[in-house]
Structure 1
């Protein structure tokens, strides 16, 4: 199974979460959204994440997601995550990413997941990297179970 974890990161927190998710999946590649053209993306499993920026994914992530054609991700399994500050109302980048992946034809294999940072610049709350690794393992298990 080829697996790619695509991320955008403002302060490094989302990148660290992406790396932990990739470690949990096992053998997954991490790549910054700035270095990837959606037209050239090929993966059996695609996990995409962004910090919440203005109640939504970053502008770079929105541009990346808009680059997928209809049904381009047919046959690809996918999941989405974000990094966020714990507030009563915080926005939902992961849900928006998940819907964009599904609209491009991907099969969503996990509920969108948020990972908590202590403030705008972080750091991540204690235990979030371990939670990200566990989430990656659960995604890999779901993909294997439904293969």
Structure 2
């Protein structure tokens, strides 16, 4: 199994979370890959795909949405997947991670975790204290979910 952490990032906060997740996916050769460098043909059944985006207008960024929309109907069949977003802690906010999970499922991926939010202070960040540690813990839970 190989792992890819695909992300888009506006102010660097989502990138930091993606990198923390990739570092914590021990033994998978995981790397954090920003959308323009992503090669969907490199994913195979049994691989792990983690996708993240900041919330942008109550949804994932257009570039990450377009990357997922480019998958064929069953192109992710056999791929394990999970999604996360970065957001400001508000009473009412969007849920990019849930939308990403739904999109991954529509393309055949097996969702192995509930969508995960990570919090920033203000629109541009920085990440709130403890969020990188939370990302590392979540990544290890993903490994457990795939039996590693």
TM-score, scaled to structure 1: 0.94
Partner of residue 33 from structure 1, selected from 27, 32, 35: 35
The aligned runs of 1:1-147 (5 Å cut-off) are 1-26=1-26, 27-38=29-40, 40-43=41-44, 44-144=47-147
What SS class does the counterpart of residue 63 from structure 2 fall into? helix
Cα displacement string for residues 4-26 of structure 1 (whole angstroms, at most 9, x for unaligned residues)? 00000001000000011112212
Cα displacement string for residues 98-119 of structure 1 (whole angstroms, at most 9, x for unaligned residues)? 0000000000000000000001
Cα displacement string for residues 47-103 of structure 1 (whole angstroms, at most 9, x for unaligned residues)? 000000000000101110110110100000000000000011110000000000000
Tell me how far 1:41 sits from its aligned partner. 3.7
Tell me how far 1:30 sits from its aligned partner. 1.0
**Whole-Å separation in 2 of the counterparts to 1:13 and 1:137:** 20
Structure 1 segments unaligned to the other structure (5+ residues): none
Report if the CA contact (8 A) 1:6-1:49 is conserved.
yes
What SS class does the counterpart of residue 5 from structure 1 fall into? strand
TM-score, scaled to structure 2: 0.94
What SS class does the counterpart of residue 87 from structure 2 fall into? strand
Structure 2 segments unaligned to the other structure (5+ residues): none
